[in-house]
Structure 1
Amino acid sequence: MTGTDNGREAYAAERAELARLLPPAPGTDLPPGRHEHHRERLMNLIDDDTARARGRTGADAQDRARGRPDRSRLLRPSFLAPATALAVAGALVLGYSAQNGGPAGTSGTGETRSVSQVLLRISDAAGKGEALPVRDDQFLYTRGTGREVDLTSGKAVVGPLEESESWYSQKPGPQKKLGLSRVNGETLPINAELGDSEGTRPGLFRPTYRWLSTLPTDPQELLDYLSEITPKFEGEDRDQALFEAIGGLIGGPVLPPGTAAALYKAAALIPGVTEAPDAVDALGREGVGIAREDARSSERTEWVFDPDGLSFLGWRSYLTKDTEYGKKGDLLGDSAVIETAVVDKAGARPRS
């Protein structure tokens, strides 16, 4: 065995150990796959640093050497040209303006107006929800089901449908223990985000009810703020990053009505957002769909809403074209929300 082989084996062992030490995904309450997303992002950064130290060109070189696809393209890779993004954004604004009594859009904006109208209906329904008195010593509870996809082999391998529960602490300030998750009967702690040595503060990846209540309720101001706090990764599509950031928030157990209403209106301002007429969640429940596709990765993510009350049901992600890691239509993950509540203790279920 050569010294190079020894080095590769040592590197692989170190990477596997780091992956093992990362906190497990707590369930399906942060679509689409936010915790697994952050784990993979971290491993990408580790690969980047190692590749630079070896004089290579980054994680892509290591992936090719191992016969794996460029993982950065499996996450959030599509990129709209600035002129196209501005054009689509303008169309969305025109559609939203028309729904609210503004000037009618020009030709080609009919679908955009429809998307804006649907999101406005969802926003109105969310805004009429009950503002719950969530205390700092309580926990936000979610029970749901979903499937994850393993990409380590270079192909998308869909896991089984698993039911899970999660309890997220509402304590203010940085916390090292964020709550509990329970999957297949095994209960594990949800630890602070990696790198938060003093604990994770309330924010985008720890959205407490109190923090959510402080977000701007003006849609454009909210979108601007989310753009500022959403992590930036080289080569990613910022519009898709914002769509996923909003998806992670609306998939939480409880949202202040004003914040929920603003999030859906903000989503209407993101270029490339469309309707998804045949949207279904992990339980096969059909509903009103809102979607966005990453053109470069050919990955489409759909949010699914109850057709009657327009409450959030879940999400689904799949391929829209044949790729090196799957075929058109292949599932890349999904979820379904079964129950949400506010409880007094981690591990306690809501009273029936």
Structure 2
Amino acid sequence: MNLTPIPPDQNDRAELARLLPGPVERELPSDRHRHLQEFVMSEIHQDLRATGQVARPTPRRRFALAASALTAVAATAVGAVAIGTAGSEPPPTPPVTAALSGQQILLAAASTAERLPESSGNYWYVRITSSGTSKSAPWQVENWFDRSGRTWLRGDKSNGQVVELSVPTPFQLGGSEITVARLRMLPTSPEALREWLTDAVRDSDVRTSAGRPTVAQQERLVFDGLISLVSQLPAPPKVRAAAFQAIAAYPDVESLGAVDGGQGLLVPFGTGSPARLVVDPVTSRIRQTNFFVSVEGGQYVAGGSGADAGSFTLVAEWTDELPR
């Protein structure tokens, strides 16, 4: 797509980009698969019991309507459990036997994220590991960011040493710079968060080789921003929850079943390659993906296809340690 945000310092962006040059999926043991299914279904069930009914947000554009429809799908999946006989206790939750839908997995991850305590630290740490393909070698790069934007990295091209970039590297979202403090102020409802990203992309300086992005390209940038919020950026729990809910509202989200690291998902988008994600609904983390948008705004896509498809394994968390 060749969408390139206009950065404050192109030379430094290039320096960081040069340090970023795809996965073998294994079936989980049957008991782990069952536990994950039971967890996800119990998350949806608890949400329905807590509210007494499926929440239906006020319709706002087509996105809001889609979100309501997907919530109804989740309610249908557990309807037999949530409805009890008048004057009696609800029956116990039966063993989970049905496969979980992609929307259910994402909504369960959102429910978990919403209840997690907010973590903190001196540095936001991101580690990206490429699996490689038959035509490309595996690689790994690590970044540390402090709250002022100072950036350190370690990778093959830094000879395994931690080095500091010459100028701060601010986070990027929707084609614009964003601070940790501003991330904390993002909307916490999926409809409002998507609208915020839509406005940010529209008003940004993002350009393609043909000029301003088309409407379809802008919509893809909004989707990329949602993925960034749940995988790479230090977004607070409620914002992460809203982003998971917004991703669940996209049509045709497909569950690939239990894989190493969590639940596999395929999220088609337009005519481009679908996003392939591995979500751990227990921790609400993206463990693996076939593409990512780096914190400095660059997009990277794993090579290969079929059995040779590459992937990226992600770790993103707060830490107080800056290795030397």
Please say if residues 26 and 165 of structure 1, whose CA atoms lie closer than 8 Å, have aligned partners that are also in contact.
no
Please say if residues 279 and 302 of structure 1, whose CA atoms lie closer than 8 Å, have aligned partners that are also in contact.
no
- Aligned runs of 1:175-186 on 2, under 5 Å? 178-184=150-156, 185-186=160-161
**Are 1:24 and 2:11 counterparts?**
no
Query: Aligned to 2:319, which of 317, 342, 348?
Result: 342
| Cα deviations by residue, 1:250-276 (Å, 9 ceiling, x for unpaired) | 112643111111111121233x35123
Q: In the alignment, which residue of structure 1 is the partner of 2:213? A: 233
Distance 1:167 1:87, change over 3 A: closer
| Cα deviations by residue, 1:61-115 (Å, 9 ceiling, x for unpaired) | xxxxxxxxxxxxxxxxxxxxxxxxx8898455312245469xx9xxxxxxxx933
Q: In the alignment, which residue of structure 2 is the partner of 1:312? A: 286
Query: Aligned to 1:218, which of 184, 189, 194?
Result: 189
Q: In the alignment, which residue of structure 2 is the partner of 1:124? A: 111
The 3-state SS of whatever aligns with 1:23 is helix
Please say if residues 23 and 191 of structure 1, whose CA atoms lie closer than 8 Å, have aligned partners that are also in contact.
no
Distance 1:123 1:348, change over 3 A: same
- Name the % identity: 19
* Unmatched 5+ stretches in structure 2: 1-9, 21-60, 80-99, 207-211, 292-302
In the alignment, the residues of structure 1 paired with residue 179 and residue 132 of structure 2 have an alpha-carbon distance, to the nearest angstrom, of 25
Aligned residue pair count: 229
Shift of 1:126: 1.0
In the alignment, the residues of structure 2 paired with residue 89 and residue 215 of structure 1 have an alpha-carbon distance, to the nearest angstrom, of 18
Q: In the alignment, which residue of structure 2 is the partner of 1:40? A: none
Distance 1:267 1:275, change over 3 A: same
| Cα deviations by residue, 1:227-262 (Å, 9 ceiling, x for unpaired) | 111346237444432221111221126431111111
The 3-state SS of whatever aligns with 1:210 is helix
In the alignment, the residues of structure 2 paired with residue 339 and residue 20 of structure 1 have an alpha-carbon distance, to the nearest angstrom, of 22
Q: In the alignment, which residue of structure 2 is the partner of 1:146? A: 130
Higher relative contact order (CA 8 A, sep 6+): 2
In the alignment, residue 247 of structure 1 is paired with which amino acid? I
In the alignment, the residues of structure 1 paired with residue 135 and residue 308 of structure 2 have an alpha-carbon distance, to the nearest angstrom, of 7
Shift of 1:300: 2.0
Q: In the alignment, which residue of structure 2 is the partner of 1:276? A: 255
Distance 1:21 1:336, change over 3 A: closer
In the alignment, residue 152 of structure 2 is paired with which amino acid? L
- Aligned runs of 1:263-302 on 2, under 5 Å? 263-270=243-250, 272-278=251-257, 285-297=260-272, 299-302=273-276
The 3-state SS of whatever aligns with 1:277 is strand
Query: Aligned to 1:95, which of 70, 76, 79?
Result: 70
The 3-state SS of whatever aligns with 2:243 is helix
The 3-state SS of whatever aligns with 1:22 is helix
In the alignment, the residues of structure 2 paired with residue 333 and residue 236 of structure 1 have an alpha-carbon distance, to the nearest angstrom, of 26
Shift of 1:22: 1.6
Q: In the alignment, which residue of structure 2 is the partner of 1:303? A: 277
Q: In the alignment, which residue of structure 2 is the partner of 1:329? A: 306
Shift of 1:123: 0.2
Please say if residues 142 and 340 of structure 1, whose CA atoms lie closer than 8 Å, have aligned partners that are also in contact.
yes
Q: In the alignment, which residue of structure 1 is the partner of 2:26? A: none
Q: In the alignment, which residue of structure 2 is the partner of 1:256? A: 236
In the alignment, the residues of structure 2 paired with residue 114 and residue 89 of structure 1 have an alpha-carbon distance, to the nearest angstrom, of 20
* Unmatched 5+ stretches in structure 1: 1-17, 29-85, 105-112, 150-156, 194-198, 318-325
Distance 1:254 1:314, change over 3 A: farther
Identify which range, 213-222 or 286-295, moves more after superposition.
286-295
The 3-state SS of whatever aligns with 2:182 is helix
| Cα deviations by residue, 1:182-235 (Å, 9 ceiling, x for unpaired) | 102044445669xxxxx7577556554322211000110010001111346237
Please say if residues 303 and 314 of structure 1, whose CA atoms lie closer than 8 Å, have aligned partners that are also in contact.
yes
Q: In the alignment, which residue of structure 1 is the partner of 2:40? A: none
Q: TM-score scaled by structure 1? A: 0.53
In the alignment, residue 216 of structure 1 is paired with which amino acid? P
- Aligned runs of 1:188-207 on 2, under 5 Å? 188-190=163-165, 200=170, 203-204=173-174, 207=178
Distance 1:342 1:260, change over 3 A: same
Q: Over aligned residue pairs, what C-alpha RMSD do you find?
A: 3.9
In the alignment, the residues of structure 2 paired with residue 21 and residue 93 of structure 1 have an alpha-carbon distance, to the nearest angstrom, of 40
